[in-house]
């Protein structure tokens, strides 16, 4: 690289420092216990995307193997206490974990994990243990499951959807202990699965083939494909559906976040049609091909965006740049309906800094009340942010650490009551943390 | 940061950063008003304090940080409020959702824990944990195997090539698995080098974003103004107060300025205070008008240069300046739409506007090569020939026949004028009719070169209409003996068949309407007409007036035709209106512009044909496989010689060129009576599809596909075969033929994004790594890339003994890739063609040479 470029970079970092310093001023109270500032670690483009990236493809484990000295951090903080850990025997990274939050109150806490070609179902028993209930394996050893999500069949039985490297979406029925359905269609790996918040039959899948698909898992039709002309230009890594069911947000390797309208009349019509369409019809189901998102931005992140979640009208998203950004489209006080979608204007509400989180496919999660957000880092530390604060500049956080937990945390999950937090790591381990009191919120550390 | 941060710190908490900056400029304007009342001795004193030239770079930097600081404070305050609002609304909807959930859910946990009978021979999963003394065991249930589908990335289907711009910044670093990165660590570096080190995100997009830039320039402009004033004032202290007074007056005149004054009145006190502390601030006299129209009053280049020095990645000083002007117009709501935009010219609220405005969208957005608005293929300006203004055929521009009893030709003044015209006309043709026929004949000869004439679309349709009009009844549509006319109209129908059928329908309506309206006006008699004449403008709506002006240029004095187009005015009304309008198009002059009838055209054509045969021979002998993209030539007043871009690129001039229609470099088309699928056909030989405007004998011009004899029009007519997509017998996806295809029969066009060779090189680097490329050389300038957009034929696989071949053809001025059958292909066969693997570059498509070069 020429000298010119180097100087440019120096200037950039220098000024970015000044900028960051102030913009994250509010979250100064969140300065981390080990005294490291994320800023000094902010990698250049070459640093992050060029080299230090661990893959979702299972190869990541080799790359991120670091048998480092045990961290000297204080073991726990706040009200979460580690209650249990488990190690699956395949030794491969566990990429996803999800609580079954669709069960009636009073039902057990059921957890599913996916990794390698395995799908495992656990019960988080009240005595603080992880009890294995069922283990499924794909006969194809090429398969690596990346994601899973829970749904139900509407008749009182739970269903688990899981998908991965081969792009085949599998629907498991724990009651029958079998894979009851599968969906073919994606041209490459599936990176994320989301169930529609109000219609348990609608499953959204985000794929490496640059598109998202909406499925009706009851009637087995592909309702819509989101992608194409103005769609994602690289792998779609994650997506989320707004609680009202009106919008989808998706993010991917192309640094972009796109918002797709789900409550369009045409789409709603097709969704309804997917319930009534004649299975023996001569013409294939008229899948909607949505080539144009409602809104698209590349201004929030400058690297792969690997996780995104709705938070009311706001969106939380993270990329492998050591922070989570909460933003909204348009000006600060515009609602989604008021935003003029010919613009790409965005407003950043807050940034949450995190250390050592520069590899991609690291997902955060929020509890059902959206009061707590948990994200793990490469070194096995889990950051729990308290979002219930009234001032976005005063968001406090806890760091959950354990001496033996030092592999990259791929995903976190909260149980429905918010009392149990589980995260899964690259070394095939599952860690269960429970709130010691009945209070679901972590304590303010500041 | 010094002074400027001081300023912001004084601004109250609720004042947003943006407003605070605005207040500095706008507020000072108020000061100027107050000053006008009492000329300030303070300011004059201050001007002498600072004499040294200021360090612009430093000023820019400090100003920049002060703006950032203000913005940040404002953002944080706003974010706080928005966050609260969002939390409240969200928790409401969440609570509702939870309530609903608690009530409706009936899902209970059911889990089959039954141990399968064959569990003894099942593989077991072991889960270990420290808490448990012994590891847990669970039999692994192996699920059913499912065969996946081959890999495919999402692509958008298109049936026509689509031009896209170059991407000079790497969109994102592609991820190809860690193995690739491990094996070839230099790949990413090389890739970035291709983009001159530019990657999205690296060139920092948001720490000087658009808004900051505008604010920064504004602030600097103020500072500069104040500096200027200082130097100026030393010489002209007395003039100063006068000028202020004048400017204040100007402000008062403009209502918008006053609005602004009200806008910032909240900050007034604050700014006055500021002025007192920093006397030089009071010197800023930036009227609203100056700021609003940055074109008139921009800060000098010194400022932009200083900004550019601070932010080298934002481009040069001039670039920043341009960017600012653009942004300014966008950000300021008062800037509004540019005046040249097409206003509302329909409906009751239509405006009466000049022709240029009415036609603005047409002139700027209409593609004269594709006959549609905003075409995707000829996006670059260079591909859009302008209208051909110098050569128009005078077919309908003469009022020829009386259109009815009430025709304006019956008016005495018109008759007199016509008589005078006839005397001047030394043509000897006493009969008007004969003359027109003659002109028409001429039209038929150069109809092939019609495409670029401005009114080529409308005139043909109207020519059909105007004729029945002259016969007085709308029902009988006379057919002209002229070939060209039919051909032209068929061309039109083809290009916009929907429109033309509609217009035919509307034509009938028009006729009925006209007959009615004519009889109406007949009944009303001449007195009505006189009354009408009195206030002729009143009877005309804005839409009619605008439409008249647009039509007048085309039809000149043929008021009968204009009235037909207007549909709501008789030709007499149109005539009177035209007189009132005092149109500046002089009849005689415009008539002279028409090309005189060429003599002995047949001979000329023969000569051209032999010439072109020679040329083709020459081209083939040249044996160069460099084929350049066609760009219409435009060199007014000069013949197509060595300086013509068509000749330089070794291309023929096409009908889109602005050169004369008898240009020596034009391709004259074929005269085959056969199918144009042998080398006997000059079009086929030149690897061109038959041009419907040139080749008449083979039927290429026929609208109805069943009437076309010619086999050399498949690409332009889209006569592709039905293709089926399925997993290939060889690799990945494949494409299969549903129906039978003969040897050399057209299968499909290879469509995709048209990108430059440079862009193809950059994209190709990534595609090669992915081992999957859809690049296809189109010519020396462009490549077709079917990766993101394409059609099904993109799935055809490579083979060394293929059943298809590709051929780049010139189709009505565009190069397009046709895939043809190399031999007879049976239904259900998978299609292959030769990708031309290079021995060195294993997976790179190389260009498909033109078929002529293969022969």
Question: Least CB-CB distance to B312: which of A8, A110, A392?
Answer: A8
Helix ranges restricted to H, A24-65: 38-41, 45, 60-63
Task: Please work out, in degrees rounded to the nearest 5, the angle formed at the alpha carbon of residue A305 by the alpha carbons of A301 and A307.
Answer: 125
Does A23 sit within 8 Å of B112, measured CB to CB? no
- Residue-level pLDDT at B395: 52
**pTM of the model as a whole:** 0.71
Q: Which residues of A touch B177 (CB under 8 A)?
A: 55, 57, 59
CA distance A354 to A382: 10
Q: Name residues 299-328 of chain A within 8 A of B (Cβ).
A: 299, 301-304, 311-314, 328
CA distance B821 to A382: 62
Q: How far is B834 from chain A (nearest CA, A)?
A: 25
Does B89 sit within 8 Å of A313, measured CB to CB? yes
pLDDT at B465 over 70: no
A52 Cβ under 8 Å from any chain B Cβ: no
Helix/strand/coil percentages in chain A, nearest 5: 15, 40, 50
- A330, A339 contact by CB (below 8 A): yes
Q: Which residues of B touch A390 (CB under 8 A)?
A: 80, 83-84, 87
Query: Which residues, in sequence order, are bridge partners of residue A397?
Result: A385
- B616, B670 contact by CB (below 8 A): no
- Residue-level pLDDT at B398: 59
Does A53 sit within 8 Å of B181, measured CB to CB? yes
- Residue-level pLDDT at A393: 81
- Residue-level pLDDT at B20: 34
Sign of the Cα torsion A292, A298, A302, A307 reads: negative
CA distance A125 to B136: 14
Label residue B609 exposed, middle or buried (CB < 10 Å: 0-12, 13-18, 19+).
Answer: middle
Question: Least CB-CB distance to A176: which of B112, B138, B177?
Answer: B112
Q: Closest-CA residue in chain A for B171?
A: A254
Q: Are strands A257-261 and A295-297 parallel, antiparallel or unpaired?
A: antiparallel
CA distance A99 to A109: 7
Does A84 sit within 8 Å of B83, measured CB to CB? no
Strand order in the sheet with A247-252: A236-241, A247-252, A257-261, A295-297
Q: How far is A273 from chain B (nearest CA, A)?
A: 24
What secondary structure does DSSP assign to B736-791, as a single string? EESS-B-TT-EEEEE-EEEEEHHHHHHHHHHHHHHT---EEE-SSSEEEEEEEEE-
Total residues belonging to chain A: 446
Q: Name residues 115-174 of chain A within 8 A of B (Cβ).
A: 118, 120-121, 128-140, 152, 156-158, 166-168, 170, 172, 174
Contacts of B454 (CB under 8 A, 6+ apart): B387, B388, B389, B392, B554
Q: pLDDT under 70 in chain A at which residues?
A: 1-78, 340-342, 437-446
- Residue-level pLDDT at B34: 35
pLDDT at B801 over 90: no
Please give the share of chain A, as a percent, with pLDDT higher than 70. 80
Closest CA to A78 of A425, A445, A368, A446: A445
Label residue B143 exposed, middle or buried (CB < 10 Å: 0-12, 13-18, 19+).
Answer: buried
Q: Closest-CA residue in chain B for A334?
A: B82
CA distance B558 to A419: 86
Please give the share of chain B, as a percent, with pLDDT higher than 70. 57
B732 Cβ under 8 Å from any chain A Cβ: no
Q: Which residues of B touch A370 (CB under 8 A)?
A: 90-91, 94
Q: What's chain B's Rg over C-alpha atoms?
A: 37
- Residue-level pLDDT at B576: 78
Contacts of A13 (CB under 8 A, 6+ apart): A42, A44
Q: Which residues of B touch A312 (CB under 8 A)?
A: 86-87, 89-90, 93
B815 Cβ under 8 Å from any chain A Cβ: no
Answer yes or no: is the ipTM higher than 0.90. Answer: no
Q: Which pair of structure tokens corresponds to residue B546?
A: 């605008």
Q: How far is A233 from chain B (nearest CA, A)?
A: 9
Q: Closest-CA residue in chain A for B103?
A: A104
Mutate to test the interface with A, among B201, B205, B732 (most CBs of A within 10 A): B201
Q: Which residues of B touch A158 (CB under 8 A)?
A: 107, 109-110
Q: Name residues 69-108 of chain A within 8 A of B (Cβ).
A: 84-90, 100, 102-105, 107-108
Closest CA to A362 of A382, A333, A335: A382
**Distances from the Cα of A395 to the Cαs of A364, B101, B273, B375, in angstroms?**
16, 29, 38, 51
Contacts of B235 (CB under 8 A, 6+ apart): none
A439 Cβ under 8 Å from any chain B Cβ: no
Contacts of B425 (CB under 8 A, 6+ apart): none
Q: Which residues of A touch B96 (CB under 8 A)?
A: none
How many residue contacts between A and B have a Cβ separation below 8 Å? 291
Does A26 sit within 8 Å of B199, measured CB to CB? no
B339 Cβ under 8 Å from any chain A Cβ: no
Does B141 sit within 8 Å of A350, measured CB to CB? no
Q: Which pair of structure tokens corresponds to residue A409?
A: 């945390």
CA distance B453 to B457: 9
- Residue-level pLDDT at A18: 35
Mean pLDDT lowest among B93-102, B195-204, B372-381, B724-733: B195-204
CA distance A272 to B217: 54
- Over residues B242-288, the pLDDT tens digits come to 555 455 444 444 444 444 433 433 433 343 334 333 333 333 333 33
- A167, A186 contact by CB (below 8 A): yes
Q: Closest-CA residue in chain A for B78?
A: A332
- Over residues B427-437, the pLDDT tens digits come to 544 444 444 44
Does A85 sit within 8 Å of B140, measured CB to CB? no
When mean pLDDT is compared over B341-355, B468-482, B838-852, the highest value belongs to B341-355
pLDDT at B3 over 70: no
Q: How far is B591 from chain A (nearest CA, A)?
A: 47
B144 Cβ under 8 Å from any chain A Cβ: yes
CA distance A328 to A311: 10
- Residue-level pLDDT at B341: 65
Mutate to test the interface with A, among B148, B160, B727 (most CBs of A within 10 A): B148
Mean pLDDT lowest among B15-24, B582-591, B677-686, B743-752: B15-24
Cα A417 versus chain centre, distance: 19
Average pLDDT for chain B: 67
Confidence of residue B383 (pLDDT cuts 50, 70, 90): low
Helices B483-495 and B432-445 pack at an angle, to 10 degrees, of 60
CA distance B834 to B68: 59
Q: How far is A164 from chain B (nearest CA, A)?
A: 12
C-alpha atoms less than 13 angstroms from C-alpha of B384 in its C-beta half-sphere:
21
Residue B673 is classified by DSSP as S
- B177, A57 contact by CB (below 8 A): yes
- Over residues B646-704, the pLDDT tens digits come to 888 888 888 888 887 777 788 888 888 888 888 888 888 888 888 888 888 888 888 88
- Residue-level pLDDT at B298: 67
Confidence of residue B441 (pLDDT cuts 50, 70, 90): very low
Does A229 sit within 8 Å of B139, measured CB to CB? no
Q: Which pair of structure tokens corresponds to residue A426?
A: 């690259």
First to last CA, chain A: 44
- Residue-level pLDDT at A310: 92
Higher pLDDT, A360 or B464: A360
pLDDT at B518 over 50: no
């Amino acid at each position: 690289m020429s000298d010119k470029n180097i100087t440019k970079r120096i200037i950039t970092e220098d000024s970015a420092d000044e900028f960051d310093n102030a913009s994250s001023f509010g979250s100064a109270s969140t300065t981390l216990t080990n005294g490291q500032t994320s800023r000094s670690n902010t990698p250049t483009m070459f640093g992050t995307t060029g080299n230090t990236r661990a893959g979702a493809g299972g190869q990541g484990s080799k790359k991120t193997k670091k048998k480092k000295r045990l961290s000297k951090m204080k073991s726990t903080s706040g009200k979460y206490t580690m209650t249990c850990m488990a190690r699956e025997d395949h030794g491969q990274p566990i990429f996803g974990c999800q609580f079954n939050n669709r069960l009636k109150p009073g039902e057990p806490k059921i957890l599913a994990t996916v990794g390698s070609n395995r799908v495992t179902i656990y019960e988080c028993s009240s005595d603080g243990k992880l009890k294995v209930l069922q283990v499924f394996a794909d006969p194809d050893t090429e398969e690596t499951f990346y994601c899973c999500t829970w749904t139900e069949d509407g008749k009182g039985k739970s269903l688990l959807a899981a998908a991965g490297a081969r792009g085949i979406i599998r629907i498991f029925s724990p009651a029958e202990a079998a894979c009851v359905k599968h969906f073919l269609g994606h041209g490459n790996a599936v990176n994320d699965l989301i169930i529609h918040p109000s219609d348990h039959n609608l499953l959204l899948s985000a794929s490496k083939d640059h598109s998202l698909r909406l499925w009706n898992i009851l009637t087995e039709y592909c309702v819509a494909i989101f992608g194409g002309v103005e769609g994602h230009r690289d792998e779609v890594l994650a997506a989320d559906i707004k609680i009202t069911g009106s919008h989808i947000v998706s993010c991917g390797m192309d640094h972009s976040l796109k918002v797709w309208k789900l409550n369009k009349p045409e789409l709603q019509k097709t969704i309804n049609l997917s319930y009534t369409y004649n299975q023996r019809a001569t013409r294939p189901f008229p899948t909607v091909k949505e080539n144009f998102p409602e809104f698209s931005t590349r201004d929030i992140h400058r690297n792969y965006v690997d996780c995104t979640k709705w938070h009311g009208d706001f969106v939380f998203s993270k990329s492998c740049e050591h922070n989570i950004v909460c933003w909204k489209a348009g000006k600060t006080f515009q609602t989604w309906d008021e935003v003029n979608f010919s613009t790409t204007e965005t407003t950043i509400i807050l940034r949450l800094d995190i250390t050592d989180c520069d590899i991609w496919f690291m997902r955060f999660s929020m509890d059902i009340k959206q009061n707590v957000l948990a994200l793990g880092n490469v070194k096995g530390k889990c950051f729990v942010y308290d979002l219930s604060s009234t001032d976005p500049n005063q968001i406090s956080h806890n760091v959950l650490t354990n001496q033996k937990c030092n592999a990259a945390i791929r995903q976190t999950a909260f149980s429905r009551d918010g009392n149990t937090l589980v995260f899964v790591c690259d070394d095939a381990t599952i860690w269960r943390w429970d709130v010691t009191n009945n209070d679901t919120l972590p304590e303010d550390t500041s | 940061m010094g002074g400027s941060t001081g300023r912001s710190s004084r601004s109250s908490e609720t004042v947003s950063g943006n407003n605070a900056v605005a207040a500095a400029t706008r507020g000072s304007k108020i000061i100027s008003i107050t000053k006008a009342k009492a000329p300030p001795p303070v300011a004059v004193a201050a001007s002498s304090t600072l004499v040294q030239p200021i360090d612009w770079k430093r000023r820019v930097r400090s100003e920049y940080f002060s703006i950032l600081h203000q913005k940040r404070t404002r953002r944080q305050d706003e974010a706080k409020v928005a966050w609260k609002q969002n939390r409240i609304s969200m928790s409401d909807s969440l609570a509702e959702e939870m309530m609903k959930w608690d009530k409706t859910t009936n899902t209970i946990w059911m889990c089959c824990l039954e141990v399968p009978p064959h569990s003894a021979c099942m593989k077991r999963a072991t889960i270990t944990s420290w808490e448990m003394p012994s590891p847990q065991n669970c039999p692994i249930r192996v699920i059913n195997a499912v065969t996946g589908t081959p890999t495919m990335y999402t692509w958008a289907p298109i049936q026509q090539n689509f031009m896209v711009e170059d991407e000079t910044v790497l969109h994102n670093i592609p991820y190809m698995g860690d193995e690739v990165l491990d094996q070839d660590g230099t790949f990413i570096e090389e890739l970035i080098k291709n983009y001159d080190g530019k990657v999205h995100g690296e060139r920092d997009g948001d720490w000087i974003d658009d808004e900051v830039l505008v604010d920064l320039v504004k602030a600097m402009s103020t500072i500069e103004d104040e500096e200027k004033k200082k130097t100026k004032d030393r010489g002209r202290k007395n003039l100063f107060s006068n000028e202020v007074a004048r400017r204040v007056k100007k402000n008062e005149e403009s209502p918008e300025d006053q609005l602004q004054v009200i806008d910032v009145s909240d900050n007034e006190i604050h700014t006055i205070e500021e002025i007192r502390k920093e006397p030089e601030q009071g010197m800023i006299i930036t009227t609203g008008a100056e700021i609003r129209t940055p074109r008139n009053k921009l800060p000098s280049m010194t400022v932009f240069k200083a900004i550019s020095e601070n932010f080298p990645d934002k481009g040069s000083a001039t670039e920043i300046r341009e960017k600012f002007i653009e942004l300014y117009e966008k950000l300021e709501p008062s800037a509004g739409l540019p005046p040249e935009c097409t206003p509302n010219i329909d409906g009751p609220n239509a405006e009466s506007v000049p022709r240029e405005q009415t036609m603005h969208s047409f002139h700027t957005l209409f593609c004269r090569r594709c006959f549609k608005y905003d075409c995707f293929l000829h996006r670059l300006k260079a591909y859009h020939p302008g209208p051909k203004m110098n050569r128009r055929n005078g077919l309908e521009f003469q009022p020829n026949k009386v259109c009815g009893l009430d025709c304006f030709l019956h008016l005495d003044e018109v008759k007199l004028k016509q008589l005078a015209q006839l005397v001047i006309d030394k043509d000897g043709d006493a009969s008007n009719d004969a003359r027109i026929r003659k002109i028409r004949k001429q039209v038929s000869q150069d109809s092939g070169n019609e495409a670029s004439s401005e009114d080529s679309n409308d005139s043909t349709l109207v020519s059909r209409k105007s004729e029945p009009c002259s016969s007085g009844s709308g029902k009988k549509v006379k057919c002209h003996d002229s070939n060209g006319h039919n051909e032209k109209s068929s061309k039109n129908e083809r290009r916009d068949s929907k429109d033309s059928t509609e217009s035919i329908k509307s034509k009938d309506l028009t006729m009925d309407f006209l007959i009615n309206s004519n009889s109406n006006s007949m009944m009303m008699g001449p007195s009505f007409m006189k009354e009408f004449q009195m206030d002729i403008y009143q009877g005309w709506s804005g839409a009619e007036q605008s439409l008249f002006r647009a039509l007048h240029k085309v039809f000149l004095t043929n008021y009968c035709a204009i009235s037909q187009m207007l549909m709501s005015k008789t030709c007499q009304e149109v005539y009177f209106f035209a007189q009132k309008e005092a149109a500046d198009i002089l009849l005689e002059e415009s008539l002279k512009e028409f090309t005189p009838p060429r003599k002995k055209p047949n001979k000329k054509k023969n000569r051209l044909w032999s010439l072109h045969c020679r040329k083709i021979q020459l081209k083939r002998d040249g044996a160069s496989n460099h084929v350049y993209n066609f760009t219409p030539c435009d060199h007014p007043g000069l013949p197509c010689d060595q300086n013509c871009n068509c000749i330089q690129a070794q291309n023929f001039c096409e009908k889109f060129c602005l050169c004369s229609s008898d240009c020596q470099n034009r391709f004259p088309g074929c005269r085959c009576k056969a199918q144009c699928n042998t080398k006997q056909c000059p079009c086929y030989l030149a690897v061109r599809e038959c041009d419907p405007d040139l080749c008449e004998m083979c039927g290429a011009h026929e609208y109805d596909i069943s009437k076309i004899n010619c086999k050399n029009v498949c690409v332009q007519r889209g006569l592709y075969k039905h293709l089926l997509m399925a997993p290939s017998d060889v690799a990945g996806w494949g494409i299969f033929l549903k129906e039978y295809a003969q040897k050399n029969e057209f299968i499909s066009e290879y469509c995709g994004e048209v990108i430059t060779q440079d862009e193809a090189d950059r994209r190709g680097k990534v595609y090669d790594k992915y081992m999957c490329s859809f690049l296809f050389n189109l010519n020396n300038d462009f490549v077709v890339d079917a990766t993101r957009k394409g059609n099904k034929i993109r799935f055809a696989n490579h083979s060394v003994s293929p059943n298809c071949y590709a051929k780049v053809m010139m189709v009505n001025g565009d190069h397009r890739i046709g895939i043809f059958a190399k031999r007879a292909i049976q239904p259900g066969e998978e299609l292959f063609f030769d990708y031309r693997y290079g021995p060195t570059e294993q997976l790179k498509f190389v260009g498909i040479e033109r078929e002529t070069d293969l022969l």
